[in-house]
Amino acid sequence: MQTKKNDTSKSEKAVAMAGKTWTALKSETTSFIIGLLCVIFGVYMLLAFISFFFTGGNDQSILTHPNPSELLETGNRIQNYAGARGAQLAQFLINDCFGFSAFCIIIFLVVTGMKLMKAYQFRIRNWFLGCATVMIWFSVTLGFAFGGLMEDSYIYPGGLHGYNVSRWICSQIGTPGLILVLLAVAILFGVALTQQTMGVVRKALHPSLKAEGVSAQAETPKADNVSRQEEVAAETITVPLTDAEQTEEEKKEKKESFWKSWTRRKQKEEPKMKEEEPTEEKETETESAPAPEPTPAQATPKEAPVAPVKEETSKAIDLPIEPEEKAEDHPFEVEPVRKEEKAEEPAFEVSNDTKEEDQEYKGDITQPYNPRLDLEFYHFPTLDLLNTYQNNEPDIDMEEQNANKNRIIKVLRSFGIEISSIKASVGPTITLYEITPAEGVRISKIRNLEDDIALSLSALGIRIIAPIPGKGTIGIEVPNANPHIVPMSSILSSKKFQETTYDLPVALGKTITNEVFMVDLAKAPHMLVAGATGQGKSVGLNAIVTSLLYKKHPSELKFVIIDPKKVEFAIYAPIERHFLAKLPDASDAIITDVTKVVQTLNSLCVEMDNRYKLLQSAGCRNIKEYNAKFINRQLNPENGHHFLPYIVIIIDEFGDLIMTAGKEVELPICRIAQLARAVGIHAIIATQRPTTNIITGTIKANFPARVAFRVASMMDSRTILDRPGAQQLIGKGDMLYLQGNDPVRVQCAFVDTPEVERIAAFIGKQQGYPTAFMLPEYVDENAEASGSSADVDMNRLDPLFEEAARLLIYHQQGSTSLIQRKFSIGYNRAGRIMDQLEKAGIVGPANGSKAREVLCLDENDLQMRMSSLKD
C-alpha cells in the first residue's frame, strides 16, 4: 500500500517536473538557445561526416582498435577535421547505423534548431516523419544494393542497419519481395508528399492515359471530385453518342477538344493543388522577404501540412474534443505578411513639379496654363515631418496563429460544423481566418450561429463574415495579441500612394492583408464618418487631410473646415492662406460658430451654382474636363473662366450642428451632396452619434462612402453601414469602410497632433496667397426680409420671445447662436427673435461680429417691457 502511494507521488512529481521543464523550454530565450545549439551541433556533425569520407579510412584503424579510448585520448593520430569525437560520431552514425542517409539526422537537427530559434516556421512532426522515412528507406536500399562491397571499403553506404535489415527482409520475403516493399514505401511517401505522384504513377502504368485520365479521375470516389464529375458528365453529354458512326478523325478531334477543356479546368484548379504541396523551396521563399504580390503558391504557409484535406463526416458535438490533435489535421495556411513596396525615390523631396520652361512661359498664352505657377516655389511637405515607429511591421506569431486556429475549429465543432481547410491572413491589428466548410455544411447555419460563435471565441472585436463575398468561404476576424500601429509615414511613403493617379487620393490605412487602402474622394464622392468618442475619428479625419496635403498643390485644393468642437482643427490655422476657404467677412477660416456654418454652407451652394454656370458655358460635364480646357487655354478668363480648385468640406461633430441648426444645415448639405460632385465639391461629415435623427435618410442617400469606427450599439452600426459590425470593432482606428456592397476592414493610419502641427507649420511658413480662398457672399433672403427692425411685426411675437429674452438677460449676452443652441432652433428663427428683442428695446443693435448689448437689466425690467408690449 505504502509502496503504491510512494509510486503515485513519485509519478506526480515526475509529471510536475516535466511540466516545469516544458514551461521553461517554452520560454522564448530558452528555446532560442537550444535551437542555436542544435544548429551549431548540426554544422559540427556535417563537418565530421564530410571529413569522414576523406579521412575515415585512416581513422578506422584507430577507431576499431580493441581499446580505442586509449588512442582517442591523445587524439593525435585522428585526421577527421572534427577531431576524435567527430570521427567517432561519424563512424557510429554512418557505418554502424544508417550509412549515407545519416545526413538526414543533420537536416532534422538544423530544421529543429531553426524552428526553436523562430527563424523559420517548420512543422517538426512532418519533418521528423519525412527525415526518418527517407533515412531508413535509403539505408535499407543502399544496404541491399551495396551489401556485398562492405568488406572492400571503409564506408558502408547503407550502414550496418541497412545491411542487416535488408538481409533479414530478404530472408523473410525474398529479394523480389524486398524490392516490392521498397517500391511501395517510395510511392506511398511520394503520395503523402504530393498528390501529383499519383498522376506520375498512373502515367507510368498507362502512358497514353491523358485522355482517359478524366474517367480515371471520375472513378476516384473523392468527395471533392463530385462536382467535377458532374461537370465532366455534363460536358460528356454534349458529345453526341454516335461513336459507332463517327470516323476515326472525328473521334480524335472530339477527344482532343474534350481533353483541352479538361486541361483548362485542371489549370484553374492548379493553384489550389499547389497550395497543398509545401516544398522546401516555397518555405524558403515565404521566409525571405515575400514578393509584393504573392501568388497562391508562394503564399503557401511555412507549416502547411502535406496531408490532403481530411473529410470528417461525424458530428463532433457529442464527441470528446481533442482540439489540439484534431485541429492539426486541417490544412492551415498563413499568408506571409505583405510588405508594402516603398517608392524608390522620396517623391516629396522634389516638391515642386513646376518646370523651368513653365517659368519661362509664364503668361505666354501659347503655352498651357499652369495653375501651380501662382505659388511656383511651393514645396510639398516632406516625409521627415512624420513620426516613424520602431517594430511596427506586423510579424506572424505562429504560436498565436495555431492557438487561434485550434480555438476556431473547436468552437465550430462544438456547434457541429466541420471544416475542410483554414487560412489566415495577418493584418496590423486583425487576423482574418478564412474557413472552407466541409461538404454539406450550409453557410446559413454558420450565419445563424454568428453571435454564438463570436461569444464562444470570447474576444473583443470578432466579426464573422459568412460568406466572404465572391469566395464561398467564411471569414472570422480575430484581433491580434500584439496590434501594430499603422504610421502615416508608412502609408505616404508607399509606392501605391506616391504613384497614385487619383484626383483626390485619400489614404485611410491598411487592410487586413496589409495593403495600403486608398480611396479617391473625387469618386467617393462624399463621405460619412461615424464612431463613438475616442475611437479614432479625429485621427481618421487628420489622416484624410494629411494625405491630401501631401498630394495636392494649394492651387488645386481648398478645405472648408467646420469644427463646432473648436479645438480639433485649430491646428490647421497656419495653412489658411494656402489651403483654406472662408466667407469674405469671416475673421477665421476654421468655422467654429454655428451661425456661420449655415452661411458658409449656403455660400458653398452659391459656389456650386456658379461653377455649374461656368461648366455649362464651357460645354463641360465635370470639373476635370473644365480644368483641362482651361489649362489648354480654350476658355477665356475674360469671360469669367478660371481654374477651379477642388473644395473639400470637413464637418466634425455633425450631430451637434443638426441639433442646433436642424434643417438649415441639412438642406444645403443635401444640395451639395446631391449636386456638387461634378463641380469638385466634396463633403466629409463626422459624427459621434450616428442616430437616425442626425443621419437622416436624405443624408444617407447622398453619402455613399461610409467610414465606421467602433460605435456604441448595433443600431448605430445599422444607421451608418446599413448592417451590424461596427459595434464589434476594437477601437483605436479599427474601422469598416463601406462603398457599395461590402464593408472592408481597415486599420486607420495613425497621425498624431504634433505631426499635423509640423506639416501645417511647414506649409504655413511658405509663401501663400494674400488671403484664404474667398467663397462667394451669401445673402440670406429670409433674413433680409426680416432683417431690418423696421419690418419686424411686433403683433406676432415669437412664442419663444419671452423665454429668449430671459435667457439673454440671465447671460447678459445678446447672441443669436445662444438662442439657437438653447432652444434648438434654426438660425432664421433665432434671428427673427433677436430682431423682435431689438425692437422691444431688450437688446441693442447688431454690433458686427460681437454679441449685442443687453439693455434690459433684470426680470422686473423685462416684466415692465412685456406689459407695455401687450398694451
Residues annotated within a binding site for ATP: 531-538
- Residue 243 CA from chain centroid, whole number: 55
Minimum Å gap between C-beta 513 and ligand ATP is 17
Reported residue count of the chain is: 871
CA distance 80 to 92: 14
Q: Which residues are annotated as a binding site?
A: 531-538
Q: What angle do CA 623, 626, 630 make, to 5 degrees?
A: 135
Minimum Å gap between C-beta 385 and ligand ATP is 18
What residues have CB less than 8 Å from 306, skipping those under 6 apart? 126, 192, 193, 194, 276, 277, 278
What order do you get walking across the sheet with 505-511 strand by strand?
Answer: 516-520, 505-511, 744-748, 734-738, 705-708, 527-530, 681-687, 646-651, 557-562
Chain residues 741-770 in contact with ligand ATP, contact rule CB under 6 A: 748, 750
Which DSSP category does 86 fall into? Answer: H
* Alpha-carbon torsion, ordered 484, 489, 492, 493, to 10 deg: -100
User: CB-hemisphere CA count at 13 Å for 705?
Assistant: 19
Nearer to ligand ATP, 660 or 815 (CB): 660
Residue 56 corresponds to which cell in the numbers above? 575515415
Nearer to ligand ATP, 531 or 814 (CB): 531
Which of these segments, 326-334, 342-350, 527-535, 785-793, binds ligand ATP (CB under 6 A)? 527-535
Nearer to ligand ATP, 534 or 584 (CB): 534
Which of these segments, 119-127, 156-164, 380-388, 530-538, binds ligand ATP (CB under 6 A)? 530-538
Nearer to ligand ATP, 286 or 535 (CB): 535
479 binds ligand ATP (CB under 6 A): no
554 binds ligand ATP (CB under 6 A): no
One residue of 161, 526, 578, 732 binding ligand ATP per CB under 6 A? 732
User: CB-hemisphere CA count at 13 Å for 189?
Assistant: 18
One residue of 147, 525, 531, 574 binding ligand ATP per CB under 6 A? 531
CA distance 427 to 461: 14
Q: What angle do CA 491, 506, 517 make, to 5 degrees?
A: 55
Minimum Å gap between C-beta 536 and ligand ATP is 3
One residue of 304, 485, 649, 746 binding ligand ATP per CB under 6 A? 485
3 state DSSP class of 345: coil
Nearer to ligand ATP, 511 or 538 (CB): 538
Minimum Å gap between C-beta 750 and ligand ATP is 4
Q: How many residues bind ligand ATP (CB under 6 A)?
A: 14
Q: What is the largest CA-CA distance in the chain?
A: 136
Instruction: Output the residue with the shortest Cβ distance to ligand ATP.
Output: 733
534 binds ligand ATP (CB under 6 A): yes
536 binds ligand ATP (CB under 6 A): yes
Nearer to ligand ATP, 655 or 814 (CB): 655
Minimum Å gap between C-beta 535 and ligand ATP is 5
Minimum Å gap between C-beta 716 and ligand ATP is 13
Nearer to ligand ATP, 327 or 726 (CB): 726
Evaluate whether 84 touches 76 at the Cβ level (below 8 Å).
Answer: no
535 binds ligand ATP (CB under 6 A): yes
Minimum Å gap between C-beta 516 and ligand ATP is 14
* H or E segment and range at residue 464: strand 463-465
Chain residues 649-688 in contact with ligand ATP, contact rule CB under 6 A: 688
Nearer to ligand ATP, 323 or 531 (CB): 531
Residue 384 corresponds to which cell in the numbers above? 521627415
Give the x-and-dash track for 682-711 against ligand ATP (CB under 6 A): ------x-----------------------
Which DSSP category does 794 fall into? Answer: T
Minimum Å gap between C-beta 456 and ligand ATP is 28
The β-bridge partners of 437 are: 419
Minimum Å gap between C-beta 709 and ligand ATP is 6
Which of these segments, 114-122, 533-541, 663-671, 792-800, binds ligand ATP (CB under 6 A)? 533-541
Nearer to ligand ATP, 444 or 753 (CB): 753
Nearer to ligand ATP, 141 or 546 (CB): 546
Minimum Å gap between C-beta 760 and ligand ATP is 17
Which of these segments, 315-323, 337-345, 535-543, 774-782, binds ligand ATP (CB under 6 A)? 535-543
Nearer to ligand ATP, 137 or 709 (CB): 709
Q: Is 629 exposed, middle or buried (0-12, 13-18, 19+ CB in 10 A)?
A: middle
Torsion over CA: 76, 77, 83, 86 (sign) = negative
386 binds ligand ATP (CB under 6 A): no
Q: What angle do CA 351, 356, 359 make, to 5 degrees?
A: 100
Evaluate whether 506 touches 540 at the Cβ level (below 8 Å).
Answer: no
Evaluate whether 430 touches 480 at the Cβ level (below 8 Å).
Answer: yes
Residue 517 corresponds to which cell in the numbers above? 487602402
537 binds ligand ATP (CB under 6 A): yes
Nearer to ligand ATP, 52 or 559 (CB): 559
* H or E segment and range at residue 581: strand 581-582
Chain residues 420-439 in contact with ligand ATP, contact rule CB under 6 A: none
Task: Label residue 536 left, alpha or beta by phi (over 0 means left) and psi (-120 to 50 means alpha).
Answer: left
CA distance 189 to 584: 82
What order do you get walking across the sheet with 332-335 strand by strand?
Answer: 332-335, 419-426, 430-437, 474-479, 463-465
Minimum Å gap between C-beta 534 and ligand ATP is 4
647 binds ligand ATP (CB under 6 A): no
- Please choose, from the candidates 487, 476, 473, the residue with its C-alpha nearest in 3D space to the C-alpha of residue 428: 487
One residue of 539, 669, 685, 856 binding ligand ATP per CB under 6 A? 539
Radius of gyration of the chain (CA): 39
Nearer to ligand ATP, 396 or 539 (CB): 539
CA distance 459 to 433: 14
Minimum Å gap between C-beta 652 and ligand ATP is 8
Which of these segments, 206-214, 321-329, 532-540, 690-698, binds ligand ATP (CB under 6 A)? 532-540
Minimum Å gap between C-beta 596 and ligand ATP is 21
492 binds ligand ATP (CB under 6 A): no
- Please choose, from the candidates 130, 153, 126, 137, the residue with its C-alpha nearest in 3D space to the C-alpha of residue 101: 137
CA distance 750 to 508: 9
Nearer to ligand ATP, 733 or 814 (CB): 733
CA distance 667 to 601: 9
Interface positions with ligand ATP (CB under 6 A): 485, 531, 533-539, 688, 732-733, 748, 750
